[in-house]
Structure 1
Amino acid sequence: MEGVLVSAATGVMNSVLAKLTAFLGEEYKHAKGVRDDLVFLRSELSTMNIVLQKLADVDQLDELSRDWRDRVRDLAYDIEDCIDLSVHRLRGSAGESGLAAKVARMAKKIGAFRQIASQIQKLKARVVEVSERRNRYTLHGLVPTSSDASSSTKVDVRLCALWTETKHLVGIDGPRDDIISRLMEQKQESLSSVQHGVRMVSIVGCAGLGKTTLAKQVYDKIKGEFECKAFVSVSQKPNIKELILNISNQVGNKSTNMSDDVANLVDNLREYLKQKRYIVVVDDIWNPEPWNFIGEALVKTSPGSIIILTTRVKEVAMSSSSSHGGFVYPMKHLDGAHSKRLFYKRIFDCEEQCPPEFEQASKEILERCDGIPLAIISISSFLADRQSLYHWNEVKKIISSPIPGNKDLETMQSVLALSYYNLPHDLRSCLLYLSSFPEDCEIRKYRLVSRWIAEGFINARPGENLYEAGLRYFNVLINQSLIQPWNEHYGEVLSCRVHDVILNFIVSKSVEENFMTLLDPSGPVPLQHSNCCKVRRMSLQGSYCQEKFASSMKSIKPHVRSLACSMDCTGLHPLSEFKVARVLDLEGCESLTNNHLANIEKLAYLRYLSISGTGVSVLPANIGCLQHLETLDIIGTQVKELPPSIVLLQQLVRLFANFEVMFPAEGVSKMQALEQLTGLLPFNQPVSFLKELGELTKLRVLSVSWMPHHVRDSDEAHAEHEKSYEKIFISSLNALDRHSLQYLSLYSDIAAKRFFDSWFPSLKNLRRLSIKNMFKRGTIPSWIRLVAKLEQLKLENVYVRQDDFEMLGDLKALESLALPCSDTQGSWLTISNHGFRCLKFAFLCNVLFMPDSMPNLKDLRIDIVLDEVGENDSVFQHLPNTLCRVHAWISGNLDAVSKLKEKILNIANTHPNRPSLTTATYIQEH
């Protein structure tokens, strides 16, 4: 019942219908009057749900239809809240045994029934009123649009790189090289005039033209030449103090005092950057005020430094550049040739032509996109899986209709609306939910997916758990170009961002649907969305008046089901007043303390709780009362020990903790729903806990730090102590391996081969394995060749020999291999043509490709240390034709590095798949 789908289209209607059915079968089967009312509610709501489904696929609704829809959805929320609170009251009547206690429970239950019956009568009256409203008037516009669910379940690696590989697709290499050339010309001029002057460029253009992409290309190309570097996003309503702190942290200023005011922070940063070469990108400035502070902090006389600024406002670009003697670089719309290349590459995987029958339709579609890269990317992603002339002509009609107002903005709105209404209803909810995150926020994948699940948005397929389904949803939104993959780690997308234009669309849609209420820092606190709709989900993202906010929240709290707060906010307390909350995401609220979590056990239906990055040091003793809690995130807190009641959380699926946290000695085996556990230091745990760990039959993901304590006893005692813990832990790993364990992440300060070999019986069924040697180089365990199901492997800081490499190539299921910081002991490694047949991502050091090697490789990161292995004419020969991206890091003397860089560029330009290429170099001076 808890897994019933919730969506922006129908609210919680499906969940309500399921709960009404369950209620009829349990609590009220002997209460005839109440039962009749419940039957009536279920019947009426079932019919309403059908109409809601149809309304959800209509782009433009008349006011009457919209009002009826809003009332019905809001009614469904109220009915579900009534049912949930009623169930909680009835179950809460259980307690002590004995005659007196039994009589008291009966009296309490009778009172609860009467109260519930009264509430249901009122809800029934509202349903009748809403039904009669519909019967009195005619609803217009009920013309549903078909939507095709995407069948893609894995991220298209071309799109993972699209925001960076655009240099090949839309001609961004020309502007990038032009800007770099002009900046370097400024450098030469400064040598003869103002010695050590800063160089600056302001990139200006409308939304969606790729200003950030261009700035990032310039930044990535030359950042290796600078001692200090930073890339910050400003957004429309910036926090100046956080901006200065962000720059200070990125450039490595360790003396920053977070308690300082803005003026002191500016002075501190100026002093730090004096006589240092820096490069700083200030992305997306909307008005001059932020630059007045940032510009003061970035010293104009820093030797040979560079500032890159992006903005949509011409006046901001001109004033900021003039203040630092820079130049303005206007972004241009793509010309016809580059528009075609980008469009055709995405759809047909060919840059030059399309099938003749599509030429006219594509021409008209591209004319409407007006050379805006984001519009072209969005529409081509939509059309990629719809290659029929009928679909193309329908799209052409929709986006070619006259739209008044700002042409660029309206183009994007029409394209995005088309993509939005062709998403399945559950994916629409997931997309709209991104409006709860601030502008320019980096959204971690596990955080987003966990919240989607808690909200009830995810619909799993047979044989698929909810988290896996959530990852599939995440990948679909990336493939549809509706979210940008941001932080990638060894081939896996770990976080995303939302383009400003798309975010604006999402926010407007969320407000229209009463899906998410955003607190406007400069406006009043919203008491409700309209006369008929209460605030159900709220996101607090700015500053506000504490007193005014606290008083206004009184009427909002009882109905809020989801609260996301990305700022310090004392006006939220007490949290126990959010009595129907499913989600509390308080990550980063530094002022949150232990006292603020008091009485949190009253939130009977809380499913997601994040206090990550807060000042909390002790979890409430009775946290085990949160019987519906599915996700608990305490990473970045001061919590050192979990309370004994934590083992009562029998619905807890995901627990994210710091490695130093100690678990209760007994009872962890009761947590049978647990699937993900990150932050386990075995040597910090009771022996009894380690024994029970193996009884968690659903545990799929485990992150372990194997750091033995350095005891003061003799070496022999130390060895015996370590050996006993290792034996118990390996026994539990064996049990987990037989159950569900698929992913093990291990951080270790031990590199001995014996240590790894002893673990093999516990790891043979893994699909993902990550081992990081913290302080010593290790060897590759020989038993890895026997882990037949292994799909992803990361071995950091290891010695790699040719035999080891061939052994890894025999892993038939391996799709991702990362060997960062590895040592090939001064030798080139050869990739033969018989191994790594399924590999898609590789991070390797000092390797040579043979013909037909790694035939499915799409993403390559390669480190080459020329001083160790010497030059070789075969470097970068025989690269797989499937490559989409190459990142090369080259170390050596200047001549050898320059020669190899030129060779890589030539190969990339003549490669049949034209992969994106980024290079970084380190010049060894002799």
Structure 2
Amino acid sequence: MDAGLLSAFIKKLVARLFVLADEKYKLYKGYKEDIHFLMEELPMITTAIDEQLSGTDDHTLHFKVNELHQLAQEMEDCIDRIMYCASKEQQPWYHINYTSGNRITSRFQLAKEMKRLKRRLQEAHQRKERYPVSRPSHTELPPSSSDRLIAQEDLVGIDAPLKELLEHLVETKGQWKQLNVISIVGFCGLGKTVLAQELYDSEIGRQFEKRAWVSAGQRNSEALLTEILQQVHEPPPLVYSDARQLSIDLRNHLNNKRYFIVIDDIRSKDQWNCIKSAFPRLQDVSSRIVVTTKFQSVANTCSSTNGYVHKMRRLDEECSKQLLLKESCLQEYSDSSSSQSDSKVILDKCDGQPLALTAVGQFIQSRNSVEQPEWEVVCKDVRCHLDSDDCLKRMYQVLTHDYTSLPSHELKACLLYFATFPSNHRVRTKRLMRRWLAEGFVVPSTLCSDPAAQSFKELMDRNIIQSVDVSNNLKVKTCKTYGMMHEYIIRKSLSENIIALFDDGKLQPKYARRLSLHDSSITDATNLEIDLSLVRSLVVIGEAGKAILNFRKYQLLRVLDLEQCTDLHNGHLKDICNLLLIKYLSLGGKITDLPKDIKKLKVLETLDLRRTYVKILPPEVIQLPNLISLFGKFKLPNTVVQNKLQKFLSSGQCKLQTLSGFLVDENEGFPELMVHMNKLRKVKIWCESSATSSSLTNVKKAIQKFIHDVKDPSDDPRSLSVHYEGCPENLLEGLEPPCYLRSLKLQGNIPKLPEFVTALRRLRELCLRSTRMTDDLLTALGNLKDLLYLKLIADELDQITFRDRALPNLLCLCYVVKHPTFPRTEDGALPLLISLQLLCENMDSQCSVQIKGFTRLREVVIYDEVNPDIKANWERAVKEHQNRPKVLLKRADPPEEATGNETTECFASLEGPVQETDIQMPAEEPKFASNSSKALFSSQFGSGKIGILP
């Protein structure tokens, strides 16, 4: 096993030991002595491993990694069995099916096992000198593509991005003459360096008075400045070792000169900040700097002032096939009908990545086959030979570097977890992060309250994973890994024995802690050799079969994701309710009812019923002491005993933070209980037309309690969604300040804006959906000073004008309308707007929205189905805008049929070339109405181009 992953695994194990040492487990004295010994010993081991990996260890302890890995896994098995047995003993007597004698025997066996593990650890210490951990060599990124000679005629799909960036090199009439920094950002292997090289060698690029090309990598500022100075200075100057003096000399030499400098492969913001002062920013000289990087945050920093960020796009299907056939010398098969369909398998694996297409093409060509290849076989061969074939070597080095350069072992484990999803699968971000937490890959601390979100942010920043669907508030809703990175992740996960993958009906290893089934055909228990009692995580997509769904064989499951399992039914729930250590449970299939025995799942944190047909929620679910997130669309039974539930909720034991959501009809169950749920942060409510006046009154009381502003300085991200179509218009009238929400979504008949909305403190996101929106409602929106994101969905909008200083902090404005009646804006309105989304199928060419006054605009989104003349008009309009924003085309397909309680949204088809939106919700709150907003958002878009947006 990788020593870094082992270190992360042991750290997680120590945390589990602390839990086990808690008094509630009532362990024997001998147990606790052994546990405290391990708690003291294991941190020393992880420290030793971390020091060896960092290269700082000189004489610390050495261990044989494989032996220690096996020992750590056995410790985890023992700890989890102790916790399972203890949890089982805490169940009421009528739930326990074994005698007191069996209980004592089980405890005795586990005590013996703990002593055996303690002895084995002591023996490992004694063998430390004979079994050292070899210090790994640090994996350096191989030379970039520019170091290989690539003829102009061999480049595929480069014309469009090259033309776009060349427009940024030239001096444009009417624009300020100043230094512009162009950042080219994207995943390794997409051709960043090649594109920069073409810019540098272009006729326009050669017209600059002073030019230099340097590769940053891990070089310090002195080395970079020295090389630039030597290239732009004639004759080359003496070499200085002082960065400050080098910066002064370079700045003096470049003053009043038009220069063009390319800095390839910048890897940190500090690297840029240390050298940027060397480049003069004169107002009368149009100089250019081009940087390439894989870090989105680095690109944004470099281009934060008078700059532009170009996010590399994948090649479309036609260009991908052209490059693959060219490199594999199979152009004669390009028109073959079988090739057209079968080659899609390998094209999906390469995912439009030029480096992958080139490597796989050369791999095919090296096999000296004169016949058209079997593409399915090629896919399997690539995975098998990824680390051994010379043709695939450079691609493997790039993928390995992306993995090994991750800053923490925990982040590596989070990345490898993507192997549990099929290739090219859209992964819901929130679902992913909840599973990371349940697995123990990330642990909340005083330093970071949301480590899962932080880990996701880091992976996104490195462009190792990509956004697929971005919501209107610019948050990433779904994501996926690149094709060949996914192959690397699967191979790494299998080799480290992290998962057992069923993707073709065959079991890969015989032992694993995580099982992932992707449309598997395993239906017979005789095909299954793995010990299911040790499995911690089970994910099923498609049919699972009787062998896998025999939950009596599982004991230690923590994550059970069955929302896409097609053969799951109510009969499985009895045994699922005996999985006492489960923290994450997502159900689908044909589930219609939950049994009362679900109350046995005392440590359950997430219960997702959105893909089930469960309409009535057992009250026992509400009483689960550790439940944090509950998803579905349900109500409580009419016979529920309110007093008992209210007593539990009032005791403060309820940890529920997300309730999304519940139905309100003649049943008054949930509204009465919600008042007593003091830790709620996200609530979704559906009010049916059959709701009684008493029920609606209770809903109103519950909402009033939920939005009450306690003026907590931490300002928790409180979110409310209310659907009340068919209910009285005044349902939300009379809600009183002080009130607080970060996000509000209202759907119903909304003739005017409810008064409480304008009283909400720090409201950031507002979505309104109504058949018609009046001028009174729309005018009232202009007074929402703190609003960042506004989405309006209606058949008809009254014509209004946003006055000067209206919505002063709005970043994103989205209209989804049937008729093209968009509000007009005066100069000074919406001064910080960066994203304008005008989604109207019937849009005419005389759109009333004028974008010239939006001085910070970076994107305009329209439907792909609009008239081609309208697209052309928009392209002309953005070219005349000072920021040259992008025009993105949103292609909304009909939603797929929802399953059970699931609500669906329209997303774009992922057909190449895909233009992902480059702006996303910032991790921290932006500073409002100040220049810092420009620094955060001014350069995260392209300019004057049309792309496809999800």
Considering the TM-score relative to the shorter chain, is it more than 0.5?
yes
Instruction: Name the CA distance, whole Å, in 2 between partners of 1:96 and 1:364.
Output: 68
Whole-Å separation in 1 of the counterparts to 2:810 and 2:641: 43
SS state at 1:433 partner: helix
Take 1:358 and 1:846, find their aligned partners in 2: how far apart are those partners? Answer: 55
Provide Cα deviations, 1:724-783, integer angstroms capped at 9, x if missing partner: 11111211222233477811112221375423324x33893111001122xx56433243
State yes or no: 1:598 paired with 2:574: yes
Alpha-carbon distance change, 339 to 461 in structure 1, aligned in 2, over 3 angstroms: farther
Change (3 A) 1:645 1:805: closer
Distance 2:227 2:161 in 1: 19
Alignment of 1:843 with 2:798, yes or no, is no
Q: CA deviation at 1:500?
A: 0.5
| Residue 451 of structure 1 pairs with residue 435 of structure 2 | yes
Residue correspondence of structure 1 range 82-161 to structure 2 within 5 A: 82-90=78-86, 92-93=88-89, 110-141=104-135
Q: Does 1:439 align with 2:423?
A: yes
Matches of 1:777 and 1:432, distance apart in 2 = 47
Q: Distance in 2 between matches of 1:921 and 1:645?
A: 43
Tell me the alpha carbon deviations over residues 253-296 of structure 1, each in whole angstroms, 9 at most, x when there is no partner.
xxxxxxxxxxxxxxxxxxxxxxxxxxxxxxxxxxxxxxxxxxxx
Correspondences of 1:422-433 after superposition (within 5 Å): 422-433=406-417
Match of 1:379 among 291, 294, 304: 294
SS in 2 for 1:588: strand
- In structure 2, give the amino acid aligned to 1:421: S
CA distance in 1, matches of 2:567, 2:733: 46
Between 628-637 and 739-748, the greater mean CA deviation after superposition: 739-748
Taking a change above 3 Å as real, the CA distance of residues 96 and 28 of structure 1, as seen in their structure-2 partners, is: closer
Q: Give the conservation status (yes or no) of the 8 Å contact 2:188–2:398.
A: no
Q: How does 1:463-862 map to 2 (within 5 A)?
A: 465-466=449-450, 469-491=451-473, 492-521=475-504, 523-528=506-511, 535-547=512-524, 550-551=525-526, 553=528, 555-570=530-545, 571-612=547-588, 614-659=589-634, 664-666=640-642, 667-669=644-646, 670=648, 672-683=654-665, 685=667, 687-709=668-690, 722-738=692-708, 742-750=718-726, 753-758=729-734, 760-761=735-736, 764-773=739-748, 776=749, 778-797=751-770, 799-802=772-775, 804-821=777-794, 823-825=796-798, 827=799, 829-844=800-815, 846-862=822-838
SS at match of 2:7: coil
Aligned partner of residue 447 in structure 1, secondary structure: helix
Q: 1:813 to 1:822 in 2, by over 3 A?
A: farther
1:742–1:662 Cα change, 3 Å: farther
Q: Give the secondary structure class of the aligned counterpart of 1:636.
A: coil
Report the residue type matching 2:739 in the other structure: K
Q: Give, in angstroms, the shift of residue 854 of structure 1.
A: 2.2
Cα contact 1:698–1:741 (8 A) shared by 2 = no
Structure 2 CA distance, aligned partners of 1:606 and 1:565?
Answer: 16
Asked whether the 8 Å contact 2:617–2:636 carries over to 1, the reply is yes
2:913 aligned residue = none
3-state SS of paired residue (1:853): coil
Change (3 A) 1:541 1:919: closer
Over 3 Å counting, the alpha-carbon distance change for 1:921 and 1:766 in structure 2 is closer
For residues 286-435 of structure 1, the aligned pairs below 5 Å read 334=195, 336-337=197-198, 357=225, 365=264, 379-381=294-296, 383-384=298-299, 410-411=394-395, 413-414=397-398, 417-418=401-402, 420-435=404-419
Alignment of 1:254-269 (within 5 A): none
Unaligned runs of 5+ in 1: 1-5, 147-164, 175-206, 212-330, 345-351, 369-375, 389-398, 529-534, 710-720
SS in 2 for 1:46: helix
SS of 1:14's equivalent? helix
Match of 1:796, as an amino acid?
A: R
Distance 1:688 1:112 in 2: 43
Which 10-residue stretch deviates more, 424-433 or 108-117?
A: 108-117
Give the aligned residue type for 1:789: R
CA positional deviation for 1:72? 2.3
Aligned AA (2:49)? L
Correspondence for 1:76: 72
- Which whole-Å CA distance do the structure 2 matches of 1:558 and 1:51 have between them? 32
Q: Say if 1:733 and 1:763, in contact at 8 Å, map to a contact too.
A: no
Shift in alpha-carbon separation, 1:382–1:567, aligned structure 2, 3 A: same
Contact 1:57–1:145 under 8 Å retained in 2 = no
The SS at the match of 1:573 is: coil
Give the residue type in structure 1 aligned to 2:688. M
- Aligned-residue offset at 1:384: 4.1
The structure 2 residue matched to 1:915, chosen from 885, 897, 914, is 885
Distance of 2:698 and 2:613 partners within structure 1: 28
Cα deviation, residue 580, structure 1: 0.7
1:602 match: secondary structure: coil
Q: Which residue of 2 aligns with 1:3?
A: none
AA paired with 1:881?
T
SS at 1:622 equivalent: helix
Shift of residue 430, structure 1, vs aligned partner: 1.8
Q: How much does 1:462 deviate?
A: 3.6
| Matched-pair identity in % | 23
What is the CA distance between 1:518 and its match in structure 2?
1.8
Deviation, 1:441, is 0.8
| Conserved 8 A contact 1:767-1:791 | yes
Q: Find the residue that maps to 2:736 and give its secondary structure.
A: helix
SS of match in other structure, 2:526: helix
Distance 1:634 1:477, change over 3 A: same
> Is the 2:53–2:136 Cα contact (8 Å) retained in structure 1?
no
CA distance in 2, matches of 1:332, 1:138: 40
| Partner in structure 1 of residue 945 of structure 2 | none
Matched AA of 2:590: G
Report the CA distance between 1:490 and its aligned residue: 1.5
More deviation, 412-421/730-739: 412-421
Contact 1:810 1:835 in 2 (8 A): yes
Higher helix fraction (1 or 2): 1
Q: CA deviation at 1:460?
A: 3.2
In 2, Cα distance between the equivalents of 1:615 and 1:586? 11
What is the alpha-carbon distance in structure 1 between the residues aligned to residue 785 and residue 139 of structure 2?
44
> In the superposition, relative to structure 1, how do residues 606 and 763 fare at CA in structure 2: closer, same or farther (>3 Å)?
farther
Q: What number of residue pairs does the alignment pair up?
A: 676
The code of the aligned residue for 2:126 comes to E
TM-aligned CA deviation for residue 436 of structure 1: 0.7
**SS of alignment partner, residue 887 of structure 2:** strand
**Residue aligning to 2:854:** 880
Equivalent-residue separation in structure 2 for 1:726 and 1:732 (angstroms): 10
One of 864, 874, 879 as aligned partner of 1:904: 874
